[in-house]
Amino acid sequence: MATILCHACALAPEPALPELAPEPVPELPGSFAESSRTGAHEPLEWWRAFADPVLDEVVDTVLASNFDIAEAVARVQQARVRARLAEAAILPSVRARAGADSFDVPINAGIGAQLQELGLEDLLGDAAGGITLPERLGLTTYALSADFAYELDFWDRVRHSSLAAGAELLASESDVQAARIGVVAEAITAYFDIVDLRRQIEIARETVDVLEERERLVEARYGRGLTDSLGLYRVRQDLRNTQAGLPQLDDRLAAAEVRLAALMGGYREDVDELLPNAPGQPPVADPVPVGVPADLLLQRPDLLAAGHRLEAAGHEIEARRAELRPSLSLSGSIGLQTTDIGGIFNVQQWFGNLLSSLLAPVFDGGRLAGNVALAHTRFNELAAAYGRTVVTAVNEVEAALAGLRNQGRRHAFLSARREEAQATLALRSQRYRSGVGGYADFLDASRTLLDVESALAGCERNLALARLAVHRALGGAWTAPDRVAGESLAAAILPEEGGRNR
Residue 339 to residues 37, 111, 145, Cα–Cα distance (Å): 83, 18, 15
Kindly give, in sequence order, each residue whose CB lies less than 8 Å from that of residue 288, ignoring residues fewer than 6 positions away.
401, 404, 467, 470, 478, 499, 500, 501, 502
SS3 content of the chain, % helix, strand, coil (to 5): 65, 10, 25
**CA quadruple 190, 191, 195, 201: dihedral positive or negative?**
positive
496: phi then psi, degrees, rounded to nearest 5: -65, -25
Rounded alpha-carbon distances, angstroms, from residue 320 to 165, 226, 303, 411: 14, 92, 26, 58
Beta bridge partners, 98, equal 144
Q: Is residue 231 part of a domain?
A: yes
Structural domain contains residue 75: yes
H helices of 91-228, in order, are 111-118, 120-127, 157-223
Q: Which of 322, 360, 364, 321 is nearest to 12 (CA)?
A: 360
The rounded distance, in Å, linking the Cα atoms of 100 and 490 is 75
What pLDDT tens digit does each residue of the chain (502 aa) get?
334 334 434 333 444 444 444 444 555 555 545 443 444 444 457 888 788 888 888 888 888 888 888 888 888 888 888 888 777 777 777 788 877 777 776 766 666 666 666 665 555 555 545 556 566 767 777 777 788 777 777 788 888 888 898 899 999 888 888 888 888 999 999 999 999 999 999 999 999 999 999 889 888 877 887 777 888 888 899 899 999 999 999 999 999 999 999 988 888 888 888 787 655 555 555 556 555 566 677 778 889 999 999 999 999 999 888 888 887 777 878 877 777 766 666 666 676 777 777 777 777 778 888 888 999 999 999 999 999 998 888 888 889 888 988 998 999 999 999 999 999 999 989 988 887 788 888 899 999 999 999 999 999 999 989 988 988 888 877 654 333 333 332 232 233 333 333 3
Give the CATH number, domain containing residue 239: 1.20.1600.10
Does some domain include residue 101?
no
Spatial distance between the Cα atoms of 468 and 462, rounded to a whole number of angstroms? 10
> Is the pTM higher than 0.85?
no
The bridge status of strand 350-359 relative to strand 93-106 is unpaired
Inside any domain, residue 123: no
Q: Residue 30: inside a domain, yes or no?
A: yes
Residue 501 lies in a domain: no
Residue 381 lies in a domain: yes
Contact 469, 403 (CB under 8 A): yes
Report the 10 Å Cβ neighbour count for 478.
Answer: 26
Structural domain for 184, as ranges:
23-90+153-325+361-492
Domain total for the chain? 1
Q: Radius of gyration (Cα) for the chain, nearest Å?
A: 40
Q: Does residue 13 belong to any structural domain of this protein? A: no
